Amino acid sequence: MSGDLSPIDKAKFVAAKRAAQMVETGMRVGLGTGSTAAWLVRCLGEMVRDNGLRIKGVPTSTRTAELARQVGIEVISLDEAKWLDLTIDGADEFDGELNLIKGGGGALLQEKIVATASDRMVVIADVGKEVETLGAFPLPIEVIPFGWQTTQALVEETLVSVDVLGRESSLRMNGATPFVTDEGNHIVDLHLKRIGNARQLSLILNQIPGVVENGLFVDICDTVVLGHGDGKVEVRDINDGTVSTDRLDFLESNNLFSDLSD
């Protein structure tokens, strides 16, 4: 069945499979949210079932928690874990300094809390997520529902003074109603096109009343595992400056594609 995957899904799968090899028995692991992170959870579940891997997983969303339990991973809260050995998550964009845009799945707040409570953050992504400059993907900000339109207006006014190309924003919807995060908040997506200074923008946005958190992950990610549709995997470590490549076989993990509902 793995042969039926699209090149992008194959890239996500091999990135997730390679990152799963970084997980060792006894670890407390942050489990990301999104399509690529779901592959990781499946890979870890296979290792739990077939290889005797024993870990405690801290999910970054309710849907990740459900999938983790489904595949046999022990799920605990961040308060129970206190601190994590490793967090593995996807990204919507990343640049050469491993700065990220995250939050396309609406879980940016919990994702950032979990990532910053970890010794190491590993991002898994397909090759299309790499960009020279962040901003083509809309930047999500999580805002409290009370006065969200005022918060949105304040954000747009603030964007006039920062180095971005676009200043439009939109409330994320779920059908006919606003999207609601696991924390009961809304998401406003900023259509910036290009972000000249991600660190500065992140600090400025979080000073605006009503903004809970933004989707810029600056100086948080340590390693990117980049998957290609032909099975090639590239691992880049920002701390030691190393780049390594590998190639993974799709056929080894056919049971990942059975007995699971997405």
Q: Are 94 and 220 in contact (CB under 8 A)?
A: no
Q: What is the mean pLDDT of residues 97-111?
A: 98
Secondary-structure class of domain 2-130+219-257 per CATH: alpha beta
* Each residue's pLDDT tens digit, 65-101: 999 999 999 999 999 999 999 999 999 999 999 999 9
Q: Residue 7's Cα: distance from chain center in Å?
A: 20
Which pLDDT does position 16 carry in this prediction?
A: 97
Which pLDDT does position 3 carry in this prediction?
A: 56
* Each residue's pLDDT tens digit, 5-52: 899 999 999 999 999 999 999 999 999 999 999 999 999 999 999 999
What are the two backbone dihedrals, phi and then psi, of residue 78, each rounded to the nearest 5 degrees? -65, -35
pTM above 0.85, yes or no: yes
* Each residue's pLDDT tens digit, 163-193: 999 999 999 999 999 999 999 999 999 999 9
CATH 3.40.50.1360 segments of the chain = 2-130+219-257
Tokens of 88: 């593995």
Which pLDDT does position 19 carry in this prediction?
A: 98
Say whether pLDDT at 259 is over 60: no
Q: H-helix or E-strand containing 157?
A: helix 148-159
Nearest to 189 by CA among 244, 111, 122, 137: 137
How confident is residue 261, by pLDDT bands cut at 50, 70 and 90? very low
Angle in degrees, 0-180, between the axes of helices 35-51 and 62-70, rounded to the nearest 10: 30
Q: Residue 183's Cα: distance from chain center in Å?
A: 17
What are the two backbone dihedrals, phi and then psi, of residue 214, each rounded to the nearest 5 degrees? -120, 165
Which pLDDT does position 250 carry in this prediction?
A: 65
CA distance to 58, 238, 246, per residue, from 43 (Å): 16, 25, 17
Cα four-point dihedral sign 168, 169, 173, 177: negative
Dump the DSSP string for 158-205. HHTTSSBS--EEEE-EETTEE---TTS-EEEEEE-S-BS-HHHHHHHH
* Each residue's pLDDT tens digit, 184-240: 999 999 999 999 999 999 999 999 999 999 999 999 999 999 999 999 999 999 999
- Topology adopted by domain 139-214: Alpha-Beta Plaits (3.30.70)
How confident is residue 1, by pLDDT bands cut at 50, 70 and 90? very low
Which pLDDT does position 251 carry in this prediction?
A: 55
Active-site residue, selected from the candidate residues 66, 74, 80, 111: 111
Q: Are 178 and 185 in contact (CB under 8 A)?
A: no
CA distance to 14, 134, 221, 258, per residue, from 201 (Å): 33, 12, 18, 43
How confident is residue 4, by pLDDT bands cut at 50, 70 and 90? confident
80 noted as active-site residue:
no
Tokens of 213: 């958190």
CATH 3.30.70.260 segments of the chain = 139-214
What lies within 8 Å, CB to CB, of 192 at 6+ separation is 135, 138, 139, 159, 164, 165, 166, 167
